[in-house]
Each structure stands twice: as C-alpha cells, then as structure tokens.
Amino acid sequence: MSIRLWSMATPIGPWTVVCDDDVVVVSGFQSMQDTVKRLPPGLSEPTSVPDLGTISAAVRAYVDGQVDALDRIPVSQSGGPFRQEVWRVMREIPAGETWSYTELATKAGKPSAVRAAASACAQNMVAPFVPCHRVVRSDGSLGGYYYGLPAKEWLLAHERA
C-alpha cells in the first residue's frame, strides 16, 4: 500500500489528490495540508510526490480541456450501499450537463431519497473524479459545493466550453 499526495495549481486554486496505489481516495480544490486533514480514518500519512503518473496526467488533461479525462480513473471512498450507488451514477453524468438532486436519486434507484442523494454529494471525498459539481437544485440553481460556488461555476463553465 502506497499512500501518495500530489497537488497542482488550477484557475480555481490548488487541486490536491491522494491515492492509495493507483486509486484516488481523496481529491479536491484545497491545499495539501487541508486535504490531509480530510483523510479517512485508518489511512496512513501520505508521502508527497512530484507526480502520480496516470492520475496526474488525467488531471492535467482535464484542466487543459479534455473534460472526460477523469472518467476512467479508479476511485474509492467509504459509504453505505445507497451512497455508493449515488457516487457510481454520478460518474455517468456527462461533462457539460447537470442533473437535479431528484434526477440523481431517481437514477440511483430511490426517487424519494433526494436528501440522501444530496448528502452523498456533500460527503463526496473524491471531487471532481466523482462529479458532484454537476448536480444542481430542481430550479437550476447551483445549490452548494464544498469548495465554494465560484469553483462549481468554473467547473461547469469549463466543461461546457
């Protein structure tokens, strides 16, 4: 098991990724220090590295405009069966599109579990590999985003460009 940490600058701040071997376990738009604070219990302290190979290449490609570059990168995060299904389904939202929390719950097999689907978005530890930024309120407004609404706006505009 090799826990590695890598970060790069983006137009919306640092994008930091933690991987366990070649599986992303934490990712987001924050400093390395803040990312380490979000590590799941039981995960050892990561080693900072200058590159994560395929994962770093996919991140660079995404930032450079290849908005499907993250789609095939393996991810792992803890959660119950419904949350896992929501995260799996979320990866099916095409770049440049948005779904409502209601659509997400429905496509995850539980149309009445809108709040649970929204909670899965809020607890997503591997953004934007699991693209919770593509989920919006039923009225089309953005809702929330852990890394701030300016980051969510940038990601959506970047994917639509």
What are the residue numbers of the active site?
132
- Sign of the Cα pseudo-torsion (45, 51, 57, 59, in order): positive
- Partners of 18 in the β-ladder: 5, 26
Of the candidates 129, 148, 5, 7, the residue with the CA atom closest to the CA atom of residue 62: 129
Hey, is 91 helix, strand or coil? Answer: coil
Six token digits for residue 70: 């993250």
